[in-house]
Amino acid sequence: MKLPSKKKIAITAFAIAALGLLTLVGILVAVGTTRRPPITISAADLAEMKTLVYKYLNERSRMMVSSAPANNPNVADAPVINPSEVSPDLAARQAEDVEKLRTMGDLGTFDSFATFARVLDIREKGDTAVLDIGATTYFRNVSRAPDGNTDIWSSAEAERLFTFTRKGNRWILTDAKLSSAGTMPPPEEPNVKPGEVGGPRVLEKPNSSQTTDHVPDEIARLDEAATLKIANRWIIVDQKTAGAMDSGRVPSQ
């Protein structure tokens, strides 16, 4: 049997190496095209957007405390969203929901609230940004515990997608939808029905691009930096306090 020449062996080896290199390049190109672009909004941008999120939720949450919040010293000064800070369609939807909560009357169960909102994902396209936010609103119960502790908390959790559009040098909140209504929609959503899908208040399909178990490091760092820029005593800025409220109780100071 005639053995292949050294020249043929070299050519074959070169061909195999070239094929391997082309395969590797193809894989890298595929990864590069599917990898999401880096986040370009700043911590100041995100702080501005999250402030609007809190204002939007505050206007609803304080109705859970009192049907006449302006007369309730615990929540009268909670900053709420201004119609100029939202799109006309969302402003009309917000007014409708808030009025529905008002007509439900004072539930008489809670005397204050606080909200903890965490950014799960950020998607950008031009002058539009969509924040996937997991928000937990805590309500302090009026009744005393057997041991006299008044800091007993209930909570309502929901994942929402908030859409923002840059208008000049500021951001406008243009849309807000629940990721999923579930069998028990959050109490701040009086016009959402159990199991509702699609429409202006709930996504057609639950958002599955991100889970609360893992948030990309880039987004987590940006969210932390943005949250520290927000001054609002109706929000919670640290995970430790949120965890204590999740347990149903915060020790009296």
- What secondary structure does DSSP assign to 2-66, as a single string? PPPPHHHHHHHHHHHHHHHHHHHHHHHHHHHHHSPPPP---HHHHHHHHHHHHHHHHHHHHHHH-
Sign of torsion over alpha carbons 233, 236, 241, 243: positive
Contacts of 153 (CB under 8 A, 6+ apart): 138, 139, 140, 141, 245, 248, 249, 250
Containing 135, the helix (H) or strand (E) segment is: strand 128-141
Distance separating alpha carbons of residues 223 and 220, to the nearest angstrom: 5
Report the candidate in 173, 169, 93 with the shortest Cα–Cα distance to residue 133. 173
pLDDT score, position 37: 79
Distance separating alpha carbons of residues 71 and 82, to the nearest angstrom: 19
pTM: 0.82
State pLDDT tens for residues 228-244.
999 888 999 888 999 99
> Which band of pLDDT confidence, cut at 50, 70 and 90, is reported for residue 109?
confident
Residue 31 has pLDDT above 70, yes or no: no
Residue 250 has pLDDT above 80, yes or no: no
State pLDDT tens for residues 48-63.
999 999 999 999 999 9
Token representation of residue 75: 């929540």
- Residue-range domain boundaries for the chain: 1-35, 41-246
Average pLDDT, whole number, for the chain? 85
Q: Average pLDDT in the 156-177 region?
A: 96
State pLDDT tens for residues 139-159.
998 876 666 666 789 899 999
Q: Tell me the fold of 41-246.
A: Nuclear Transport Factor 2; Chain: A, (3.10.450)
* Phi, then psi, of 165 in degrees rounded to 5: -125, 135
